[in-house]
Structure 1
Amino acid sequence: MDQYRRDFIKLTGLGLASAALPQGASGMPAVRAAGPQQFNMCNYAAPKLETVRIGFIGLGNRGMAAVERMNKIAGVEIRAVCDLREGKVNEAIQLVAGNGHKPQGYHTSPDAWKKLCERGDLDLVYIVTPWALHTPMAVFSMNHGKHVCVEVPAAKTIDECWELVETSEKTRKHCMMTENCCYDFSELLTLNLARQGFFGEITYAEGAYIHNLQEYVFDKERFYQMWELKELSQRTGNLYPTHGLGPICQVMNINRGDAMDYLVSMSNNDFVMAGTARSLAANDPDFKPFVGKPFNGMMNTSTIRTKKGKTIMVQFDVASPRPYSRIQLVSGTKGAALKYPEPARIAQGHEWLSPEAYKALETEHTPPIVKKIGEAAKQVGGHGGMDFLMDWRTIDCLRNGLPLDQDVYDAALWSSIGPLSEWSVAHRSNSIDVPDFTRGSWKTNAPIDISMEKGGTTGVRL
């Protein structure tokens, strides 16, 4: 990228040179310039809430699971639930009735969720809907005085990323993307060891979302109205980066001591999904709209360089018949950690530690949150317990007036890899600057507090 182009992107605040393409050709609209930071939401502690009153929007597979988890956390009142399907609303109401929750159901129209957000008796709106609705619902909720938990990715475009940031700063309401993989036990151990200097200075990391989802995305019942299949047939890039990226960013203190600088991204062709769509369409007219669509490539690889000269690789593949992997490689000047293929491993030299040595290290350096609530999380479940750890920690922070582990800048940055990668892929893998959603505050923002020296007072209903 020549200096003129870099200067243009920085001056406009785009992080995208969309003007080089006809409107819509890259799947991204022109991006407005961002104004000055209104308020720094990093490490912001909102006033404590004795009871966290929650409304849920979206009661599909993950939405209903979120309702079930929150139903097991003390200090929570589930007051409203919303979905397009009346049956799902009734199921959620019945699910929580045993713990004394009496939520009002909303399902009468596609805009019924707005009535939920407008209520004056909610503190938190939990959004688990198709991707395109995440930002509009989160922004509307914050503008109506609610904190927000929103599923990944929090935004689909750079414009939406900035809208989340600006709204959170203006309203001083938390906007947390529910990146559950930051609470996986292995990732938490790696983060705790990194904080203690075990790996030295972290210089390189790899993350991924490699998960063969074909049987799910072509299942008409799995994703309501086949919304995820539509995403995969309309966009080409690293569309779901946050599961692999989130834990890495926390380990590398991205937005809190370092920042992403620029990105390059490359995708191969689709060799499977278009053929599957054609085959299904021969007998099912519901799949005919997908015939001839340019499905996302089998594998996308995106690489990111940080302001301090460190690098990150993030991959995305939901079509190849491969074992599940988020990679989770962390490499430093004194050691390394790798989660996949399991079992997780740690090294401080040419060989991985023996299973016995790993276990001893894990026992000695068990993260404080795992000591506090880990066993209860495993009993509740949700991806091995990490989903419950995430929800419990969020509620405990809100009830004790503590900063959340993930803020709106994380939500925007981690989500931005999707549209940035789309641009790079469409431009022969040219590099593109990553917007600084903190507007320079990354230089002084403190790392997240994982000590658990404050809070930890919220109980669990097993």
Structure 2
Amino acid sequence: MKEKIKIGMIGLGGRGMGLLRLVILNMSDVEVVALCDRYEDRQTKAADKVEEKQGSRPFVTIDYQEVLSIDEIDAVIISTSWADHIDIAIASMEAGKYVATEVGGAYSVQECWRLVEAYERTKIPCMILENCCYGRDELMVLNMVKQGLFGEIVHCAGGYQHDLRDEIAYGYENRHYRLDNYINRNCENYPTHEIGPIARILDINRGNRMVSLVSMASKAKGMKEYIKNEKSHDSELAKLDFMQGDIVTTIIKCAHGETITITLDTTLPRYYSRGFTVRGTKGMYTEENQSVYIDGSHDHYQSWNKNWGNAEEFREKYEHPIWSKFLEEGVQGGHGGADWLVLADFFESVKKGTQTPLDVYDMASWMCISTLSEDSIAMGGHPIAIPDFTNGKWITRQ
């Protein structure tokens, strides 16, 4: 087992810099030796930060292939735009580098198959950095499910429900890729925050799988209204019609009969929520009011709002061991500590030379929801089959 690993980072925008500054440079077992971004100012800012923390300046380039050609690099972190994730991940596996890639949706089923085939050809692990799988609430609920508190799980729900109108509207000024996607696509473009924790609860790709979906999108009016009120001086943007529906609802059917509902809701005024909900034969959990309902223990006739927030009462018994240890050691990193935990798990796999906890089959099956939802929406909510990227191995995989 390696005591310290050397990594390269590809993509140094807001997300890449956040991971670098808040997590990676505070890890004693990781050394950043190379940085890559298409913009020189981002390169310089990141290199300065690395030099400040590590005492040595990393190699900097605009070409990610130069990062992959450095023999001493053990792993790469990809935090580029969505459209580039899979191509760079494939190139990284072919170069023999462990790879972790930020989240997003796929643009075609074919690229997901290419990702899986690259792993099966090279046997180099590839992990999707879905930090929501490491959230404190998500892991506590997973622990509850595995201990049978909710009985047999029947339905789960989640969403990416986040007012992003400002980020989208100023996409060109901030060099952010979301704007072009919202102008040109209509789909569930960011599915993995919802699907990741639910997939672990339902044993997706490890005894169960997602088999089909239907998606519907509302009309697209939120961005038009926002630009009229907040950015009317941008005449070019003001005259555009957005393709991306304000609210996209996707229903997924699983092999064992469970259903999943996920919602994309990013262009209307709202509070932040991932809407994480688990329903079973003995009870339920809902994120919306942080509450747990157990059949026989709670009265379904009473006014339920007095029980809002009662999930905290279950911490002592059901806190996930990962979070019990994390709380003792001191929570660090962004997104409430989830960024630290997901990267720590990835780096531990690199050091040990073992498979990553979230693997290439997870990445392909979660990311493909975007392109499949796009097809379903275009056909008026037509059911679409979800590929089995494991080629039948989901039945016996652990």
Residue 267 of structure 1: CA displacement? 0.4
> Any unmatched runs of 5+ in structure 2?
none
Following the alignment from structure 1 to structure 2, what is the Cα–Cα distance between the partners of residues 267 and 155?
18
Do 1:273 and 1:319's aligned partners in 2 also have CA atoms closer than 8 Å? yes
Verify: 1:346 aligned to 2:300, yes or no: no
Q: Which residue of 1 aligns with 2:166?
A: 215
Do 1:274 and 1:295's aligned partners in 2 also have CA atoms closer than 8 Å? no
Verify: 1:63 aligned to 2:11, yes or no: no
Residue 216 of structure 1: CA displacement? 1.2
Q: Secondary structure at the match of 2:278?
A: strand
Equivalent of residue 173 in structure 1, options 115, 121, 124: 124
Following the alignment from structure 2 to structure 1, what is the Cα–Cα distance between the partners of residues 29 and 339?
18
Deviation track 1:66-110 (CA, whole Å, cap 9, x = no partner) reads 112111122211111111222222222222334436353434x4x
Verify: 1:388 aligned to 2:340, yes or no: yes
Alignment of 1:269-284 (within 5 A): 269-277=219-227, 283-284=233-234
Alignment of 1:405-424 (within 5 A): 405-424=357-376
Following the alignment from structure 1 to structure 2, what is the Cα–Cα distance between the partners of residues 334 and 340?
19
Cα 1:304–1:275, aligned 2, differ >3 Å: closer, same or farther?
same
Residue 165 of structure 1: CA displacement? 0.8
Identity between Structure 1 and Structure 2 (%)? 34
Q: Secondary structure at the match of 1:159?
A: helix
Do 2:155 and 2:259's aligned partners in 1 also have CA atoms closer than 8 Å? yes
Alignment of 1:347-386 (within 5 A): 347-349=293-295, 350-351=299-300, 354=307, 358-374=311-327, 376=329, 378=331, 380-386=332-338
- Write the letter of the residue equivalent to 1:258: N
Residue 420 of structure 1: CA displacement? 0.5
Following the alignment from structure 2 to structure 1, what is the Cα–Cα distance between the partners of residues 279 and 55?
46
Alignment of 1:151-300 (within 5 A): 151-153=102-104, 155-220=106-171, 223-224=174-175, 226-277=176-227, 283-284=233-234, 287-288=236-237, 291-300=239-248
Do 2:284 and 2:293's aligned partners in 1 also have CA atoms closer than 8 Å? yes
Q: Secondary structure at the match of 2:41?
A: helix
Q: Which residue of 2 aligns with 1:301?
A: 249
- Write the letter of the residue equivalent to 1:104: P
Residue 304 of structure 1: CA displacement? 0.5
Q: TM-score, normalised by structure 2?
A: 0.92
Cα 1:360–1:340, aligned 2, differ >3 Å: closer, same or farther?
closer
Following the alignment from structure 1 to structure 2, what is the Cα–Cα distance between the partners of residues 282 and 320?
17
Q: Which residue of 2 aligns with 1:335?
A: 283
Residue 355 of structure 1: CA displacement? 7.0
Residue 276 of structure 1: CA displacement? 4.3
Deviation track 1:275-313 (CA, whole Å, cap 9, x = no partner) reads 54567786336x44x733442011000001111111000
Cα 1:310–1:420, aligned 2, differ >3 Å: closer, same or farther?
same
Cα 1:81–1:375, aligned 2, differ >3 Å: closer, same or farther?
farther
Deviation track 1:217-254 (CA, whole Å, cap 9, x = no partner) reads 11247741x42100111111111111111101101111
Do 1:89 and 1:105's aligned partners in 2 also have CA atoms closer than 8 Å? no
- Write the letter of the residue equivalent to 2:372: L
Q: Secondary structure at the match of 1:233?
A: helix
Equivalent of residue 395 in structure 2, options 420, 435, 443: 443
Q: Secondary structure at the match of 1:71?
A: helix
Following the alignment from structure 1 to structure 2, what is the Cα–Cα distance between the partners of residues 268 and 431?
17
Following the alignment from structure 1 to structure 2, what is the Cα–Cα distance between the partners of residues 388 and 129?
19
- Write the letter of the residue equivalent to 1:417: I
Q: Which residue of 1 aligns with 2:382?
A: 430
Aligned residues: 390
Judge which range, 307-316 or 51-60, deviates more.
51-60
Following the alignment from structure 1 to structure 2, what is the Cα–Cα distance between the partners of residues 204 and 74?
41
Following the alignment from structure 1 to structure 2, what is the Cα–Cα distance between the partners of residues 51 and 250?
29
Following the alignment from structure 1 to structure 2, what is the Cα–Cα distance between the partners of residues 217 and 357?
36
Q: Which residue of 1 aligns with 2:50?
A: 96
Judge which range, 344-353 or 261-270, deviates more.
344-353
Verify: 1:77 aligned to 2:31, yes or no: yes
Cα 1:419–1:251, aligned 2, differ >3 Å: closer, same or farther?
same
Aligned residues: CA RMSD? 2.2
Residue 396 of structure 1: CA displacement? 2.1
> Any unmatched runs of 5+ in structure 1?
1-47, 447-462
Residue 323 of structure 1: CA displacement? 1.0
- Write the letter of the residue equivalent to 2:254: T
